[in-house]
Amino acid sequence: MAIDEYFRWQDEYSVGIQEIDNQHKEIINLLNDLSRLGVLENKRGYETFKTMLSSVAEYLKNHFWEEEKQMEKNKFPGYIEHKKEHGILLQKVTEIFNKIGKDEALTIKNVTEYLIVWYMEHLVGLDREMGEHFKEVI
């Protein structure tokens, strides 16, 4: 089963701010697009993957910035931990970008699965907590 067959937006992921929810939906779409490249474990596939991964990383940076702005504005008590998790992922993506195609353990499939699992856990964990807080204060 392809990952994109089971990683879909669900209303329970909503944080109550439409802009952030829309960004979450787009991140899911981007990660699903990455997962489709898993069949291309060759030089061309890695180059395409790196290009797409760079775009995903840029989108994530902008999204995380928006979330962090909203967390500060709405005095989310988990702000520091949440921001730290964002930084850890962005650092990991940079490491992956620099090693993909050189480290045999970093297959497109493995990297994509890592990113999707991380994002799903983040979405149903820290983002859900953030959403609950937003619903109380907004």
**Exposure string over 82-98, b if 16+ CB within 10 A, otherwise e:** bbebbeebeeebeebbe
CA dihedral 1, 61, 15, 124 (to 10 degrees): 40
- Cβ atoms of 133 and 77 within 8 Å: the answer is yes
Domains recognised in the chain with CATH numbers: 17-137 (1.20.120.50)
- Cα separation, 31 vs 82, in Å, equals 20
| Nearest residue to 127 (alpha-carbon basis) of 3, 31, 5, 10 | 10
pTM of the predicted structure, to 2 decimals: 0.89
- Percentage of the chain lying above the pLDDT 70 cut: 91
Tens digits of per-residue pLDDT, 25-76? 999 999 988 888 766 666 777 888 899 999 999 999 999 999 999 999 999 9
Question: What is the pLDDT, as a whole number, of residue 128?
Answer: 94
